[in-house]
């Protein structure tokens, strides 16, 4: 994950994709036009209620425009947004991109039945369901792993992790239980408190792959 595409080359040879947080960049569409990196991109453009700054219509138009760039292979949109925005669904379908539909709960981990419901709803709109929750108890992390496992067993592509100290290991072990994408910051000094360094994540995922 990165806010400036000039840093994206740091992930080459380690990551499979770079996520470009457009809401963290000054001129995100210019940055996409100038991008010459080897890695395909996932783009997201978070709304105000998730840390972004752009007005809502500008935000969505910018995100839709990003989908037209050759380097952009996946677009990440919040469940709340895609549920209400039919034109954006239509617009993204017209491009050769995959759609990650994401749901964040930064306060808690919902009950298992609710986790399953959210994943199913994300899946009705997109190609990959992304679920990020806050783990207060170890049972919360286990619930998330179970929901990943159940989804992947019924053929639903899923990703995400649990926030908080207790959730940190789910960024790695989630992949064993069916998460199809693992997340790390491209440059470590922009790490959140529970991010795992990209190279370390890569090494840990090698171990998980060998354990499968």
Which residue ranges make up the site for a second copy (CB under 8 A)?
Answer: 138-139, 142, 145-146, 149, 153, 165-166, 168-169, 173, 176-178, 200, 204, 207-208, 211-212
Backbone angles phi, psi at 194, to 5 degrees: -115, 10
Q: Which residue, 49 or 207, is less far from a second copy as judged by CB? A: 207
CA distance 128 to 186: 21
Could you tell me which residues come within 8 angstroms of residue 41 by beta carbon, excluding any fewer than 6 positions away? 5, 8, 17, 18, 19, 20, 32, 35, 69, 71, 72, 73, 74
Q: Which residue, 126 or 174, is less far from a second copy as judged by CB? A: 174
Q: Which residue, 31 or 115, is less far from a second copy as judged by CB? A: 115
Q: Which residue, 9 or 194, is less far from a second copy as judged by CB? A: 194
Residue 189: count of CB within 10 angstroms of its CB? 5
CA distance 16 to 2: 14
Minimum distance of a second copy from residue 80's CB (angstroms): 29
């Amino acid at each position: 994950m990165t806010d400036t595409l000039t840093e994206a080359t740091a992930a080459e040879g380690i990551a499979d994709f770079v996520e470009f947080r457009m809401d963290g960049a000054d001129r995100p569409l210019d940055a996409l036009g100038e991008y010459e990196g080897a890695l395909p991109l996932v783009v997201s453009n978070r709304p105000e209620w998730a840390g972004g700054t752009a007005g809502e219509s500008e935000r969505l138009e910018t995100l839709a425009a990003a989908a037209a760039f050759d380097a952009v292979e996946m677009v990440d949109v919040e469940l709340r947004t895609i549920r209400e925005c039919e034109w954006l669904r239509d617009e993204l379908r017209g491009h050769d991109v995959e759609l990650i539909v994401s749901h964040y709960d930064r306060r808690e981990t919902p009950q298992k039945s609710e986790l399953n419901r959210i994943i199913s709803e994300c899946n009705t709109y997109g190609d990959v369901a992304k679920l990020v929750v806050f783990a207060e108890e170890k049972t919360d992390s286990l619930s998330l792993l179970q929901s990943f496992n159940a989804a992947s067993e019924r053929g639903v592509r899923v990703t995400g992790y649990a926030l908080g100290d207790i959730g940190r290991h789910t960024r790695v072990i989630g992949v064993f239980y069916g998460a199809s994408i693992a997340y790390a910051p491209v440059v470590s000094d922009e790490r959140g408190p529970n991010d795992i360094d990209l190279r370390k994540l890569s090494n840990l995922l090698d171990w998980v792959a060998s354990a499968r």
